[in-house]
Every structure is written in structure tokens, then in C-alpha cells.
Amino acid sequence: MTAGDLVAAIAPSLGLAVLFTIVIRAIVQADRRERRAQVRLEQERADRESRDSRPETL
């Protein structure tokens, strides 16, 4: 078995491992951004509700 055969045998698995890592990392980052946006949206909604529920002063 030559070095070229060894590389040819390992390359597909290594390529899939790299691809898997990239995909999982993208999913985790997207989830993190979505959670951050959800918290911001809920905070804005709570701020708006508290502002709307305050009695108006003249």
C-alpha cells in the first residue's frame, strides 16, 4: 500500500467530516442568532406593553 492509496482511502471520510462540521456549525450559529432575535423581539414587545399600560400624564 502506497501513500497515495492511503490518502485516497482516507480522503472521502475526511471530506465528509469537514462538511459535517461546517453544516453543524452553521446550524448552531443560526440557532444562536434566532434565539438572540427572539429575546430582542420579546423585550421590545414587553417595553411597548409597559409603555402602553402606563397612565398618560398631562
Flag whether pLDDT at 4 surpasses 90.
yes
Flag whether pLDDT at 1 surpasses 70.
yes
The predicted-structure confidence for 6-50, as pLDDT tens digits, reads as follows: 999 999 999 999 999 999 999 999 999 999 999 999 999 999 999
* Angstrom distances, CA of residue 31 to CA of 18, 26, 27, 28: 20, 9, 6, 5
Q: How far apart are CA 32 and CA 16, in angstroms?
A: 24
More confident residue, 56 or 50: 50
Burial profile 10-48: b = 16 or more Cβ within 10 angstroms, e = fewer: eeeeeeeeeeeeeeeeeeeeeeeeeeeeeeeeeeeeeee
Quote the strand ranges of the chain, DSSP E. Answer: none
